[in-house]
Every structure is written in structure tokens, then in C-alpha cells.
Amino acid sequence: MLATRCGLKEMNNVYIEEGVAMLLEVVGQDKTVRVIAERYQRSLDTVKRKLEEVLSVLLKFAADVLKPEDGEFTRVCPALRDDDRYWPCFKDCIGALDGTHISVRPPKRNAEAYRGRKQEPTMNVFAICNFDMKFIYAYVGVPDRAHDTKVLTYCARNEPFFPHPPNGKYYLVDAGYPTRIGYLGPYRRVRYHLDQFNRGGPPTNSREVFNRRHSSLRSVIERTFGVWKAKWRILDRRHPKYGLIKWIKLVTATMALHNFIRDSH
């Protein structure tokens, strides 16, 4: 598929399958270039060139798959239609959005902007997912200090491929984002997170009922982040060995691979 759709070619006598396998071992098992070269009995230069080539092709693939499918926002989602907790109250919901943090090796000139809440340098990965747990949009590389609302506002105003919700449709957001047209948040100053209901008992009024159902449905973005991070061991590094630009490319490639796995079961 990478060959026919994205132009991946056999080069330096390295088969296409071999090059893809090399990159999958790098992102899936966090193997170093030296380990890959020894395993495949290739020179370091050959491995580096092939990894760069496959990564470039995967980024082309990412541009095709990190977006909504044709007609996705007009179809009725079975996950909503078949669950009395969400239907018909959330029948116009088309997904959920949030940000997550990934460790990063920041550029020296603005390293402080990437200094996270735990003093470890991280970048914010802003993403939107659907109820099939696939990413339909991702914006990677924002420093940790950037506020979630500012990231969303920037993407919605400036990014040409941002999937704006159609009229009457909306994404679920948590209390860190403002509720506005197309973005539905929970009631504030009311119990929201599921563990609050587990500890404090069932809802006692209509707002708490709404918040519990909202929290349960919005958890799809947290579960999607969890599955994605657990699959690709390279994301688990506290001190990445790659510079910022290369790291952004690798993170984006793993998100595309996540979608491919979900599509192909």
C-alpha cells in the first residue's frame, strides 16, 4: 500500500518490506539504528537512509489517514445509536478532542517553553478522534506551556485541514475548553469525572446525569491516547534521542499507523 499509494520504492538493494520492518522496529520496540543495522546486516548509512525514506512516505500516508472519511459526519454512529445512555441525547456528536503530553528534547533557544508541570520537557499533542478510536486530526509539536484553548483556537482559525464540525454537529470537550458552537463541554461546578461518581454515589440531579454521560462518552479520546501510547514503545521515552523536528515526524507517523491498525483490525 505504501508503494502503490505513496511511492515507496526499493533502493540500495533493500526490499520495501525490509525497510518498513526496520521503521516498525524503531517505533514499536524503540530499537536504535545500530541494533537495526546489526540485525539486518546492513551498514549504518544504509539503515539511516532507508529509515528516512520510509518515514517520509509514512508522513504522506498520514496526510491521507489523519482526517475524517468521506461522509463520516453525515452517518449515524452505531456506538451512539445502540446505547441508551447516549441516544438520542448525543446523536449529533461526531467525536471528542483533547491534548496529551509527550516527552521531547526541546531546542535550546526556547527550552523553557517545553518545561512541563513535572519539570520534564514535553510537547502538547492536540488530537480529535471519532468513536472508532481513530484520529481524524492531529497537531503535533506545541510546547507544554501552550494552553489547550489557545491551541484549539489557533488550529480552528489557521490550519487549512482542520475538520470543523458541520452545522448542528459538535465535538465533546472537557472543562479546560470553553463551550461554544460546535464544542460541547460539561456543566461546571458539578461532579464530572467518573471516579467522582464511583466514590460519591450516583447522580442526584439532571446536571450530574448529563455530566456523567458526557464524561463516559468523552473518555473515547483518553482511551485512544492510551492504546496509541501503549502500542508504540518509542513514545514512552522520558528523554527522546531525536531532535524536535524528527521527533514530531515520528509521533505523527505512529498516529497514522494507529489508524491503519484500527482500520485493518
Inter-residue contact 216 to 197 (CB < 8 Å) = no
Closest CA to 14 of 38, 50, 54: 50
Share of the chain above pLDDT 90, in %: 78
Together in a domain, 87 and 212: yes
pLDDT at 218 over 90: yes
Q: What does pLDDT average to over the chain?
A: 93
Sign of CA dihedral 163, 166, 172, 177: positive
Q: Is residue 11 a part of any domain in this protein?
A: yes
* Residue 106 shares a structural domain with residue 21: no
Is 96 in the same domain as 221?
A: yes
Residues 161 and 122 in one domain: yes
Domain range holding 25? 2-65
Residues 45 and 138 reside in one and the same domain: no
Query: Would you say residue 118 has pLDDT above 70?
Result: no
pLDDT for res 172:
98
Q: Is position 240 within any domain? A: no
Rg (CA), the chain: 20
Residues 220 and 111 in one domain: yes
Q: How far is residue 69's CA from residue 161's CA, in Å, rounded to a whole number?
A: 13
Residue 257 belongs to some domain of the structure: no
The verdict on 105 and 199 lying in the same domain is yes
| pLDDT tens digits for range 88-107 | 999 999 999 999 999 998 88
Q: Does residue 16 belong to any structural domain of this protein?
A: yes
Quick: pLDDT tens for 127-171. Answer: 999 999 999 999 999 987 788 899 999 999 999 999 999 999 999
Are 204 and 104 members of one domain?
yes
Residue 196: inside a domain, yes or no?
A: yes
Is 258 a member of any domain?
no
Residues 59 and 190 in one domain: no
Do 118 and 24 share a structural domain?
Answer: no
Asked if residue 156 belongs to a domain, the reply is: yes
The answer on 84 and 48 residing in a single domain is no
How far is residue 242's CA from residue 250's CA, in Å, rounded to a whole number? Answer: 9
In the chain, the number of structural domains is 2
Q: Is 238 contained in some domain?
A: no
Give yes or no for residue 238 having a pLDDT over 90.
no
Q: Is there a single domain that holds both residue 59 and residue 88? A: no
pLDDT for res 116: 67
pLDDT surpassing 90 at residue 86: yes
| pLDDT of residue 110 exceeding 90 | no
Residue 58 has pLDDT above 80, yes or no: yes
> Is residue 117 very low, low, confident or very high in pLDDT (cuts 50, 70, 90)?
low
